[in-house]
Amino acid sequence: MKINNMFFKLILQIIIFISIVNIVHAKNFDKYKQADKISNYFSGIVALNDSEYFNSYKYLKKLEGLEDIHLRYSQLYQYALVNIERFEEAFKYSKKLEKKGVSYYESNLVIGIYHLKNENYNLAKKYFKKLRYKNSRNNLPTLLTETLNLWVTFPEVSKSIALKSINELPKRYDSIKKIQNIFTHCFYNSEDTIQEFEKLNSEQKESFQRYNFFFANYLNKIGKKNKAILFIDNSIDLYPKNLMINQFREDILSAKKKSFADSFDCQKIQNVIAEIFYITANALSSQSQYALSNFYINLAKYLNPNFTSFETLYAENFFRTGNYNKAQKIYEKIKNKGSVYSWYASKQKAATLFEVREKVDAVSYLEEEFKNIKNPKINEIYEYASFLKNNKKYKEAALFYTKVLENIDSEHFLYAEASDGRGIAYERTGRWEKAELDFLNSLKALPDQAYVMNYLAYSWIEKGINIEKSLKMLEKANELKKNDGYIIDSLGWALFKLKRYKESKDYLQEALSLMPFDPTINDHFADSLWMNSQKVQARYYWNTVLKLDKVEKKLKNSILDKLIFGLQKKSQ
């Protein structure tokens, strides 16, 4: 193993060495040919990709001067600096490169953003214009280049020219054009700003729900507080889980609060560009380009440091890359921004504890955090109940689900979910009659819930009741959720119980192809093989179950019995 690791390391060093040599024709390259220098370069890249930004900075800093002969190094170093939030240092480094005649997209962007932050719009314009010459075929850098070059001119052009410029952006940017159009109206304090916000709001697209906050924020800033509160309440009805809207409602109603969790002023270009960077970062995050996403989110934070929503994406990126310690630190920071953000951050911190296999700590931590909420809201009680259920604390979960259901009616958006959750908690604690009633109530409130149908139908099948009704229910669930292994398995199992063994085998085989390592599906498929006179194959799959991880003792004992007796007992 040691030899393999050494060989792998040597190959990597050779690859990096060749990549540098291919673009270098400088006399002073010799000092970078040593193994330790190459190792530092490679370690810096790996740390950057792993979101270990300070480590990346430390490794790359040891190679200062390499930018004279290797442009890629300076770009990586710039990413590291921005991602550890050393923007002043990033600016000075970019200026040093400029003196050496080195210019590229990131260095011009950093210098331009520095001047934009300090309201030196002419200097910002100078560097943003340079971005045009380093344009990328990628849509995001192209959009940013266009956007930056437009907005930096707005202080000196009329509203009509600004709006025309936004409208001339390529059609493929239709959504971002709508957002920028609103911000442009707002920037110029246009009398049409409210109308434009209402137009966007009327589309009711999920992708635009974020901008309900900006509308409410605008209404409050122009002295229409009551209208802002009414709009927030309507928005919460549509998007009850939206963090920004819920926190803004708390902030605006608080007499004591001097500053809001999310501070935004559309008449500050810096704030508008920060939001555009956030959109960019969010798009990159959805493509798993986390290092680049964090680069843009840190530019957003630099331009508008008082916007908690930026921090939530930042923490989420670290969570997704397994950097749980960093994520926890950001969640601790978010907790101080208001009760809505605090509860969200507590849940996320508990999730990070789970990821590092500290389940007991995670449960006790969130239990304590929930106790500290003086008057928990319905959604917070529901989320806590779901947390308890997901951690197999079913009796406690049922109590909190009951608190939710006692305070809402069947029209409430949480009714179906809370009924389903309590149904699962009841079923797991042996209270089937109550569980069945909850599942039926959940489906009555919201009929097309494939997974609720599956849970109820499978429970009926296992109890040997309502098999025909279960089959119809599962056929509908299968139509609603295509290619779901659990639902297809339940459908096959219903057919098995109805002694339609050939059809059963076909469905169970399909379920197995989707979830080949699921013990129950393997067991069901083996049973169907046995009843289709394929006994050797059946024993193969029963044996397979015994080799799988996390097989419950009850299932193991059942399979050991089948390996000896087959399904003779069941068929008699």
348: helix, strand or coil: helix
Is it the case that residue 22 has pLDDT exceeding 70?
A: no
Q: Lowest mean pLDDT of 38-42, 127-131, 429-433, name the range.
A: 38-42
pLDDT at 16 (0 to 100): 47
pLDDT at residue 560 above 60? yes
Instruction: Out of 78, 102, 126, pick the residue that ends a domain.
Output: 102
Does any domain span residue 11?
yes
pLDDT, position 358: 73
Q: What DSSP designation does 342 have?
A: H
Contact 300, 277 (CB under 8 A): yes
Q: Which of 83, 102, 121 is the last residue of a domain?
A: 102
Q: Does residue 385 sit within a domain?
A: no
Helix axes 71-83 and 290-303, enclosed angle (nearest 10): 60
Other CB atoms within 10 Å distance of the CB of residue 552: 10
CATH number of the domain that residue 553 is part of: 1.25.40.10
Region of residue 507 (left: phi > 0; alpha: psi -120 to 50; beta: else) = alpha
Q: Indicate the residue type of 404.
A: V
Establish if 565 belongs to a structural domain: yes
Q: Give the pLDDT of residue 6.
A: 41
pLDDT reading at 540 higher than 90? yes
For residue 342, being part of any structural domain is answered with no
Would you state the structure tokens that stand for residue 380, as one six-digit string? 């917070």
Note the pLDDT of residue 204. Answer: 65
Rg of the chain over Cα atoms, rounded to whole angstroms, equals: 29
Res 35: pLDDT: 57
pLDDT level of residue 172 (50, 70, 90 thresholds): confident
Arithmetic mean of pLDDT over the chain: 89
pLDDT tens per residue, range 449-494: 999 999 999 999 999 999 999 999 999 999 999 999 999 999 999 9
Instruction: Identify whether 517 is part of a domain.
Output: yes
The domain tally of the chain equals 2
Rounded to 10°, the helix 485-497/501-514 angle is: 160
Residue 444 lies in a domain: no
Mean pLDDT along residues 354-379:
88
Q: Euclidean distance between the first and final Cα of the chain, in Å? A: 55
Domain extent for 96: 1-102
Looking at residue 138, what is its pLDDT?
57
Q: Quick check: is 537 in a domain?
A: yes
Q: Does position 194 have pLDDT exceeding 80, yes or no?
A: yes
- pLDDT of residue 25 exceeding 70, the answer is no
Last residue of a domain, one of 69, 102, 135: 102
The confidence band for 34, taking pLDDT boundaries of 50, 70 and 90, is low
Global pTM reads 0.84
Exposure pattern of 371-400 as b/e (b: 16+ CB <10 Å)? eeeeebebbbbbbbbbbbbebebbebbbeb
Within a domain: residue 215? no
